[in-house]
Amino acid sequence: MADPYYITTAIHYPNGKPHIGHAYETVAADVIARFQRLKGRDVRFQTGTDEHGLKMARKAQDEGKTPRELADEMSGHFRDLFDRLNISYDRFIRTTEPEHHTASQALWRAMEANGDLYLDRYEGWYSVRDEAFYDEKELVEGEGEGGEKLSPQGTPVEWTVEESWFFRLSKYQAKLLDLYASQPDFIQPDSRRNEVMRFVEGGLRDLSVSRTSFDWGVRVPGSEEHVMYVWVDALTNYISGLGYPEEGADWKYWPADLHLIGKDIIRFHTVYWPAFLMSAGVDLPKQVYGHGFLLNRGQKESKSLGNVTDPMVLADQYGVDALRYFLMREIAFGQDGSYSAEAIVTRANAELANSFGNLAQRTLSMIAKNLDGVLGEYRPEGDDKALLTTVQDACREAFPEQFEKLAFSAGIDAWMKAVYACNQYVDEQAPWALKKTDPERMRTVLQTLFIALRDLAIAIQPVIPE
């Protein structure tokens, strides 16, 4: 356990209850964490909630609550979901924790000491829903007579004018491009890397990093009327959860091996975050992976369409392991994918129940019934050795090789082919017939299947741990 591995999800914005997209990202991160632990690595897995910003303040006001009351309530829903989905996180961080405020202010002071912060006046477009600033050239015309301006994500924007601290992002354009060129795996998949490089090559403007129009956030040190731009605060969670600025026992996990995030926040993690860290003199994470969206029957979920799915309901209806298996099996990770109740049932029945489950049930019940659960000495023949070679090649080579690349669906496909090979072996060997004609051969066949089942179960454990 001397080889540290640090994986994080994006911390989730709790202005509403968690949806299937939150479940998808967090299950994927959990599968990676469990897979790395299975390899013997010393894993640190962090998730949590991002609780500051104007969006939270307005939502709380609408509901007649304080922002803290809303944050406490909604953060609890996320923790409940992750516990229900058997998420093996080591740290659930909340940005309202005092230690996180201390770390965010320490990062701010380090950037200030490097000469990268200055006070000026901000005038421009801001999306409350995205908590993001946009240039005029990035905006799109909304549908309808009003022709309202929208962000590239299709969210409303507001013209904002206020005094603000700025971060010298423009100073880091060349350094960021050098980073992308020297470490091509820093941003994955390649489609996201290309998107970010085009954005940075187009020129970077200094970034407004504080607000005075509301006070729900981390106070700017030495400028108490300002709160930090929510993304300065939010991104800092990846190091505040390790005790930054102190380099204590948990600092051995930094730099992070993987920030797993949705593709819609790739710019914050691959432009702003490395620039902040460069400024503060902190090592950069090794990789940022922007996965695709999970669509409901091909549509992006939204309250206006009435198609938002509660992942708690899916877990209760189909079972946690079946849901986890479907999420990792159905979609090529990194791309957008679609789900439906019928698709979950089809995968669970065809592969988990009928193929793998039936194989285990037949094998173990025959061992119990015909061998009293005692396997005895093993004398494999040619067909037996061939099957075990097939299973071991899948479970110990193809499966982990694909999982290292986050190609979960391809890895599970290799695993399923080994399951099919086992079922074909059962049909060909017919141990129920051997019971009468050759009991010793029956024993060998069942022993072979037992060994194969063991390898199959260990391999798939990160996906379906129960």
Whether 86 and 465 have beta carbons less than 8 Å apart is answered as yes
* Coil vs helix vs strand at 307: coil
Q: Which residues contact 182 (CB under 8 A, 6 or more apart)?
A: none
Tell me the DSSP string of 149-186. EE-TTS-B-EEEEEEEEEE-GGGGHHHHHHHHHH-TTS
User: Per-block average pLDDT, block size 10, for the chain (466 residues)?
Assistant: 90 91 96 97 98 92 95 96 98 97 98 97 84 84 71 87 94 98 97 97 96 93 94 97 96 98 96 98 98 83 70 95 96 92 95 97 97 94 97 97 97 98 97 96 98 98 97
Cα–chain center distance at 288? 10
Q: What is the pLDDT of residue 303?
A: 59
Nearest to 31 by CA among 49, 12, 55, 7: 7
What pLDDT, on a 0 to 100 scale, did the predictor assign at position 387? 98
Q: What is the pTM of this model?
A: 0.92
CA atoms within 13 A on the CB side of 385: 4
Half-sphere exposure of 407 (CA within 13 A, CB side): 11
Using CA atoms, how far residue 103 sits from 65, 97, 108, 243, 300, in Å, is 27, 10, 9, 8, 36
CA distances in angstroms from 296 to 309, 319, 328, 463, listed in the order given: 8, 19, 16, 22
Please give the pLDDT value at position 395.
Answer: 98
Instruction: Please give the Cα distance from 435 to 94 (Å, whole number).
Output: 60
Residue type, 298: G
CA distance 128 to 52: 12
Token output for 167: 């971060």
Exposure string for 427-459, b = 16+ CB within 10 A, e = fewer: eebebeebbeeeeebbbbbbbbbbbbbebbeeb
